[in-house]
Amino acid sequence: MNTVHVSASGSYDIVIGQGLLPSIGERMKAFDKVKKIALVSDDNVYPLYGETVKAAMEAAGFEVSVFVFPHGEHSKCLKTYGELLEFMDEKHLSRSDMIAALGGGVTGDLAGFAAATYQRGIRFVQIPTSLLAMVDSSVGGKTAVDLAHSKNQVGAFWQPSLVLIDTDVLATLPDAEYRCGCSEIIKYGVLGNRTLFDECLKTPIKDQAEHIITVCVSMKRDTVEQDEFDRGERMKLNLGHTLGHVAEALSDFQTLHGQAVSMGMAAITRIAVKQGICSEETLNELLNILRVYELPTEMPYTADQMVDIMLTDKKVAGGTLRVILPEEIGVCRIDSVPAADLKNWLISGGIHE
């Protein structure tokens, strides 16, 4: 078992290991005055692990109310968010009570945003069940829901009180979701860890899950502690995400997040090559590892389709879009593209007009 401590606006531990779910109730007893817990999960995850978690919490003396919503990105919306708030109010949760998010990134984002806003903020625990959520979205305090045409447009920074990562749950993770997590892990390697990148080529990620997760959350911890509110260095964590979010939206969220990030990393690296920022060798290394993990490397949309959505991105400020460009494996930089130049910028990287 490994523990990574985060010191941000709220301090908390990320606990990583096997067989941890039954310990969640005892671990939550460390938080003062908690009597009630709203356990939030989706209809895919709850049948697998919900009763185990609920029983562990009840055995520790908590009153547990369960909110289960339909799985998928479409549920990460204002409607479901409102339903969750009404549920918490009906169950009479107070400011001293807690929310527990059991699931992937959608569940964590939704429950975290409800925690950030219910009665002006209550504590919450992340119990991620997807590899992607374990290495990325469960850590760092970004919470949000989507609007009709834009992802993560309504949200708040709200740090969890505990992140419990039980690697045993990866045994039931669908293959496509596993590969989505691999995409985010590859992102961390490209961003700032050549050793991690090479380890993922040498040994399958699933065969070294606890080690890889610990490395990734430690990297994210370091970034969050340096730039919690995403004004500088933390922006680099968006490598592949600016174009990836466009791919998700244009597919009506049929393209999974990790698949879209893979497309986005490949596209942005092609653009970096055309601009002379990185070498063809770097691009080929990236494309190779993405293909090893059977992740997509082509952006199936035109520049015209993509520009309109890109202009709604939160990273657009002062008429420019902030983008993350790789210089080599393990080194990336933040750059800006004038909004008026976005179409030509995309075309320069091989995206069709």
Instruction: Give domain status of residue 87, yes or no.
Output: yes
- Structurally, the chain folds into a number of domains equal to 2
pLDDT value, residue 2: 96
Instruction: Give domain status of residue 199, yes or no.
Output: yes
Ranges of residues in the chain whose predicted pLDDT is under 50:
none
129 and 195 in a common domain: no
User: Which residue from 233, 209, 211, 210 is spatially nearest to 223, judged by alpha carbons?
Assistant: 233
Domain final position from 172, 200, 234 = 172
Instruction: Give domain status of residue 353, yes or no.
Output: no
At 227, which CATH number? Answer: 1.20.1090.10
Instruction: Give domain status of residue 262, yes or no.
Output: yes
Instruction: Give domain status of residue 271, yes or no.
Output: yes
197 and 166 in a common domain: no
143 and 195 in a common domain: no
323 and 298 in a common domain: yes
195 and 338 in a common domain: yes
93: domain range? 2-172
163 and 221 in a common domain: no
180 and 160 in a common domain: no
- Is pTM, for the whole model, over 0.85? yes
Domain final position from 172, 200, 230 = 172
Instruction: Give domain status of residue 304, yes or no.
Output: yes
276 and 252 in a common domain: yes
186-228 pLDDT per residue, tens: 999 999 999 999 999 999 999 999 999 999 999 999 999 988 8
206 and 123 in a common domain: no
- The region that residue 122 occupies, defined by phi over 0 for left and psi between -120 and 50 for alpha, beta otherwise, is beta
221 and 159 in a common domain: no
Cα separation of 83 and 311, whole Å? 30
Domain final position from 172, 189, 211 = 172
159 and 90 in a common domain: yes
How many Cα atoms within 13 Å fall on the side-chain side of residue 51? 2
pLDDT value, residue 61: 96
Beta strands at 11-17 and 2-7: parallel, antiparallel or unpaired: antiparallel
pLDDT value, residue 349: 79
236 and 144 in a common domain: no
Instruction: Give domain status of residue 212, yes or no.
Output: yes
Instruction: Give domain status of residue 279, yes or no.
Output: yes
| Residues 139, 221 contacting (CB under 8 angstroms) | yes
Edge-first strand listing for the sheet containing 320-328 = 316-317, 320-328, 331-338
At 44, the amino acid letter reads N
pLDDT value, residue 351: 84
| Residues 161, 115 contacting (CB under 8 angstroms) | no
